[in-house]
Amino acid sequence: MDNLRIADNFSRYAHLYDKYADVQTEVASALADSIGNGNFRNILEIGCGTGNYTLMLRDKFKSAQIKALDISKKMISVAKDKLKDKEIELLVADGKKISFSEDFDLITSNACFQWFDDLGEVLRRYVKLLRDKGAIYFSIFGPHTFGELNTALIHVLKDERINSAYFCDRNNLEAVLKDNFKSVKINEIHYKETFANLKELLEKIKYSGIRGNGLSKEVHFNRTLLEKLENVYLDRFQEVRATYQVFLCYGEKK
């Protein structure tokens, strides 16, 4: 996936992200709860966005040193306003290329890793940043996310679909985790939303950034196309809805 395009999409709508990213915030809460109350002293967060999950980490681990990074400068700017006086180090950086002289006992990320082309390579990099018995906890969207929309797109535009269809599935996710960590756990959860119309759903996808690169080719969602897609929705699903497939993942360093 094109990192620059993804970063540009998140930056362009950083000021609107919190308004539309309620599912990501729900996932962040579930992820924070899954971590438990371990004695984590040095935490690295990848893809912190506007800082919603970062704030949860600070509330949960009050004495920990937290370093949070995001590829989008504008997302970091919003996070700095939200997290001022929270003693959190915020960095603009590409999570696939980071290298630190220090090590961490927790690396964590909410709704970010689906954008990595080679998750195994990234996890190998993160293992090197973990202390002995260090852990990684992350949430990641699965390929059934927006399955209804992809069904409609395939029906109307044949080979077209949004990037979520290519996200890592559970089997591949389990394989790359086991390659890098001695103890792994994956918990699958689903969220569903309904919308008044298709335009409302597309706005949600656009402003929450989950479309990534969007479609594989430029498609103009004019009134005719929107009507066709919405008709497929109503015929197949009786409503305009979206399903989010989410994996909560854990790994302990070998």
Residue-range domains of the chain with CATH: 3-145+164-192+245-253 (3.40.50.150)
Q: How far apart are CA 200 and CA 180, in angstroms?
A: 40
**Under DSSP, is residue 63 helix (H, G, I), strand (E, B) or coil?**
coil
The tens digit of pLDDT for each residue in 144-167 reads: 999 999 999 999 998 777 888 889
Closest CA to 145 of 21, 243, 12: 243
Q: CA dist 77 to 14, 48, 65, 67, 175, Å?
A: 9, 11, 20, 15, 36
Amino acid 112: pLDDT: 95
Q: Which of 7-21, 45-59, 84-98, 181-195 has the lowest mean pLDDT?
A: 7-21
State the chain's mean pLDDT as an integer.
92
What percent of the chain is modeled with pLDDT above 90? 79
Task: Count the alpha carbons within 13 Å of 43 in the hemisphere toward its beta carbon.
Answer: 30
The model's pLDDT over 163-196, given as tens digits with 9 standing for 90+, comes to: 888 899 999 999 999 999 999 999 999 999 999 9
pLDDT band for 4, please (50, 70, 90 cuts): low
Q: Cβ distance 29 to 111 under 8 Å? A: no
Q: Which long-range contacts (CB under 8 A, 24 or more apart) does 96-101 make?
A: 96/3, 96/121, 96/122, 96/125, 98/46, 98/69, 98/125, 98/129, 99/125, 100/44, 100/67, 100/129
Share of the chain above pLDDT 70, in %: 94
pLDDT for residue 195:
97
pLDDT on residue 217: 55
Paired strand residues for 251: 136, 184
Lowest mean pLDDT of 1-10, 80-89, 110-119, name the range.
1-10
Instruction: Give the confidence band of 32 by pLDDT, cuts at 50, 70, 90.
Output: very high
**Pairing verdict, β 65-70 and 130-141:** unpaired
d(CA 181, CA 135): 9
Q: Which helix (H) or strand (E) holds 36?
A: none
Residue 1 has pLDDT above 80, yes or no: no
Tens of pLDDT, residues 189-243: 999 999 999 999 999 988 887 655 455 556 677 899 999 999 999 999 999 999 9
Which has the closest alpha carbon to 14: 72, 70, 85? 72
Query: What is the pLDDT, as a whole number, of residue 35?
Result: 96
- One-letter amino acid for residue 26 of the chain: E
Structure tokens at 155: 């029906």
Q: Higher-confidence residue: 172 or 38?
A: 172
For the segment 25-40, the average pLDDT, to the nearest whole number, is: 94
Q: How many whole angstroms separate alpha carbon 58 and alpha carbon 213?
A: 31
How much is the average pLDDT of 115-133?
95
Question: What was the pLDDT predicted at 213?
Answer: 47
Whole-number pLDDT of residue 211 = 57
Query: Are 254 and 181 within 8 A, CB to CB?
Result: yes
pLDDT at 39: 87
